[in-house]
């Protein structure tokens, strides 16, 4: 068939890792967490490269890599954990940043450098079974490495994991503790069983109160941070759903594919905490509202309101953060609807630019999306200012690495409108081209970028112009937040935030001296004017002044 996509299959050792408790770390101190994540990712990337591995996907704090050898994959994982354990010793336990790592050998499909398939999914599930700072491997990996590496393993037995039809036999790798000894290798079946018993008691209590069952489907990809807890939550919810399930006549309704091309790009330090739905929401699900669905176009939202909402059960809707989506209705069961929606969505995703993993967003009239809503900045999302707007140049894109700038140069600059770039504080960015409505394009880019970063992004470019002040004299290093910036004296932070909020046009700069007293250069017609004004103002209050912020960015000497 003309235009048919050719997919390459192969066997590979798949390595999946992400940071435990990353959402909490970001919430407590975003800037410090992002800086440390960047440093830790350099360590991880270096070890993977030296071991002959290849990173094929990143999603915020998560890393997916392939290795030609299971031995090298496990040896690399051990080296990473040992190195980061040493680094963590400089921080209190509440601020330590530790990875969980899962490794398997499996059959995968390669498309445009990305890998898909059960091998990737199983590695992610094993990562969820690993201890904080630990490694969990499949039986296939254990058979390859048991006699080749001088480490100990604990047999965890066969484990049921989400969306894998057969149990996965897992092993835990012994890791050294801070005192140099090895942690005891104890199984966690007892604690997991206790959690399940607690969930069933909760479910029984809800049934006794006469609650109406809610059918909930939790479809997890490699970003799922808590698979064990959600396994239990889903089991309880499905038990409730079986009490109230009613048959429906089968019919189907297709979902329109998005009209714009969109791409996610993450640098090595692209923070993205994805939060799981708490147990309580598995019992009291959020009602589906088309106008609240993230990532998709306004056209898709209208189609959902017109076709999906009134459609008969059993029905389901799936989407990616790119906005590729599909829905079905009138299926034989909820399970059939979930499977059909995911299959249709994934087929569309694999044939689009920048394929992404599809996830269930709704089953029936209930939202089952397992991640929190993407964070968004306050409105207005775009503020046009002739004094600061200038022509877009990929080479001047702030915070982004050279590889990302090269991609923007090739794919964004000459692309047709409407187009926009959303940027996160760690340098991750999301752009789309060929959209319809400006407001729609802006919203979707901010949602997708926010989902990847785990914090609000900003629109830095719209069509062919930078729409925020992008420093050229100085180098942008992150997002500026006066309320938490350590260089500013605590008693002055509120004043800095207030004065910047009032300065709504032109170039704005902030300087501080050794005592943290701020100086301001506001409403300047050029970057140099704002810098000079901030330094002059600061010198009247403090000593050894330096500029720390220009526009929305923290800065340093170029």
DSSP letter at 368 equals -
Mean pLDDT of 172-180: 65
Mean pLDDT of 227-232: 42
Residue 357: the pLDDT is: 84
Which of 189, 159, 187, 161 is closest to 172 using CA atoms? 187
pLDDT, tens digit (0-9, with 9 covering 90-100), for 103-112: 999 888 888 7
**pLDDT tops 70 at residue 492:** yes
**pLDDT tops 50 at residue 210:** no
**Which residues have a Cβ under 8 Å from the Cβ of 1 and sit 6 or more positions away?**
none
Model-wide pTM > 0.75: no
**pLDDT tops 90 at residue 85:** no
Which comes out higher in pLDDT, residue 193 or 24?
24
Do the bridges between strand 62-67 and strand 8-19 make them parallel or antiparallel, or are there none, so unpaired? Answer: antiparallel
Axis-axis angle for helices 118-129, 227-244 (nearest 10): 110
pLDDT, tens digit (0-9, with 9 covering 90-100), for 345-367: 999 988 876 557 899 999 999 99
CA 195-198-200 angle, to 5 degrees, is 110
Q: CA-based Rg of the chain, rounded to a whole angstrom?
A: 25
95 φ, ψ (degrees, to nearest 5): -110, 10
Mean pLDDT of 48-63: 89
For residue 278, count other CB atoms closer than 10 A to its CB.
12
Q: Which CATH superfamily is domain 8-187 in?
A: Nucleotide cyclase, GGDEF domain (3.30.70.1230)
Residue 184: the pLDDT is: 52
107 φ, ψ (degrees, to nearest 5): -85, 125
Reduced to 3 states, what is the DSSP secondary structure of residue 63? strand
Cα 45 to Cα 42: distance, rounded to the nearest angstrom: 5
**pLDDT tops 90 at residue 449:** yes
For the record, the structure tokens of 365 come out as: 């009239």
**pLDDT tops 70 at residue 271:** no
Instruction: Specify the length of the chain in residues.
Output: 558
Task: Report residue 60 CA to chain centroid gap.
Answer: 4
Taking CA atoms, 348 is separated from 155, 164, 306, 318, 449, in Å, by 40, 22, 21, 11, 21
DSSP letter at 95 equals G
Mean pLDDT of 163-180: 76
Task: Report residue 195 CA to chain centroid gap.
Answer: 27
Query: Is residue 287 very low, low, confident or very high in pLDDT (cuts 50, 70, 90)?
Result: very high
| Average pLDDT over all residues of the chain | 81
Query: What does the domain layout of the chain look like in residue ranges?
Result: 8-187, 193-367, 390-466, 474-557
Say if CB 33 and CB 270 are below 8 A apart.
no
* CB environment 413-430: b (16+ within 10 A), e (fewer): eebeebbbbbbbbbbbbb
Residue 31: the pLDDT is: 84
Q: What percent of the chain has pLDDT above 90?
A: 56
Query: Is residue 38 very low, low, confident or very high in pLDDT (cuts 50, 70, 90)?
Result: confident
Say if CB 346 and CB 314 are below 8 A apart.
no
Say which range, 176-180, 205-209, 265-269, has the weakest mean pLDDT.
205-209
Do the bridges between strand 135-138 and strand 99-111 make them parallel or antiparallel, or are there none, so unpaired? Answer: parallel
**pLDDT tops 50 at residue 242:** no
Residue 261: the pLDDT is: 53
Cα 320 to Cα 27: distance, rounded to the nearest angstrom: 25
Say if CB 336 and CB 252 are below 8 A apart.
no
Residue 335: the pLDDT is: 95
H/E stretch holding 330:
none
């Amino acid at each position: 068939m003309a235009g048919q996509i050719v997919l390459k299959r192969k066997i590979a050792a798949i390595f999946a890792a992400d940071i435990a408790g990353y959402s909490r770390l970001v919430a407590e101190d975003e800037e410090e967490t992002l800086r440390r994540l960047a440093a830790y990712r350099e360590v991880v990337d270096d070890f993977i490269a030296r071991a002959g591995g290849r990173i094929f996907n990143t999603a915020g704090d998560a890393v997916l890599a392939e290795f030609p050898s299971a031995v090298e994959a496990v040896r690399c994982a051990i080296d990473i954990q040992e190195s980061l354990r040493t680094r963590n010793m400089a921080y209190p336990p509440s601020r330590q940043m530790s990875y969980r790592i899962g490794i398997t050998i499996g059959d995968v499909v390669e498309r445009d450098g990305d890998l898909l398939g059960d091998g990737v999914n199983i590695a992610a599930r094993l990562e969820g079974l690993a201890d904080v700072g630990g490694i969990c491997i499949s039986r296939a990996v254990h058979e390859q490495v048991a006699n080749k590496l001088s480490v100990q393993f604990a047999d965890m037995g066969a484990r049921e994991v989400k969306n894998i039809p057969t149990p996965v036999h897992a092993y835990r790798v012994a890791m050294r503790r801070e005192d140099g000894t090895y942690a005891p290798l104890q199984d966690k079946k007892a604690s997991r069983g206790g959690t399940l018993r607690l969930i069933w008691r909760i479910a029984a209590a809800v049934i006794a109160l006469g609650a109406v069952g809610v059918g909930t489907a939790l479809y997890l990809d490699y970003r799922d941070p808590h698979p064990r807890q959600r396994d239990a939550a889903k089991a309880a919810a499905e038990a409730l759903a079986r009490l109230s399930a009613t048959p429906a006549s089968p019919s189907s309704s297709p979902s329109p594919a998005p009209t714009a091309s969109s791409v996610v790009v993450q640098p090595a330090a692209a923070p993205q905490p994805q939060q799981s739905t708490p147990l309580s929401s598995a019992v009291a699900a959020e009602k589906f509202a088309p106008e609240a669905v993230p990532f998709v176009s306004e056209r898709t939202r209208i189609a959902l309101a017109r076709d999906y909402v009134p459609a008969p059960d059993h029905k389901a809707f799936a989407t990616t953060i790119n906005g590729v989506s599909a829905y079905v209705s009138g299926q034989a069961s909820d399970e059939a609807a979930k499977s059909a929606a995911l299959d249709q969505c994934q087929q569309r995703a694999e044939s689009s630019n920048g394929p992404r993993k599809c996830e269930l967003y709704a089953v029936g009239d209930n939202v089952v999306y397992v991640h929190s809503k993407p964070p968004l900045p306050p409105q207005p999302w775009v503020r046009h200012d002739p004094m600061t707007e200038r022509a877009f140049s990929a080479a001047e894109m702030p915070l982004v690495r050279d590889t990302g700038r090269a991609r923007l140069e090739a794919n964004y600059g000459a692309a047709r409108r409407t187009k926009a770039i959303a940027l996160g504080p760690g340098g991750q960015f999301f752009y789309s081209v060929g959209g319809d409505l400006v407001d729609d394009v802006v919203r979707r880019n901010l949602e997708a970028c926010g989902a990847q970063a785990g914090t609000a992004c900003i629109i830095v470019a719209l069509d062919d112009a930078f729409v925020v002040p992008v420093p050229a004299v100085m180098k942008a290093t992150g997002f500026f937040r006066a309320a938490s910036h350590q260089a500013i004296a605590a008693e002055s932070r509120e004043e800095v935030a207030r004065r910047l909020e009032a300065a709504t046009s032109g170039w704005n700069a902030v300087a501080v001296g050794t005592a943290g007293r701020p100086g301001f250069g506001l409403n300047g017609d050029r970057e140099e004017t704002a810098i000079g004004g901030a330094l002059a103002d600061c010198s009247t209050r403090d000593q050894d002044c330096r500029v720390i912020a220009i526009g929305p960015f923290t800065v340093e000497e170029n």
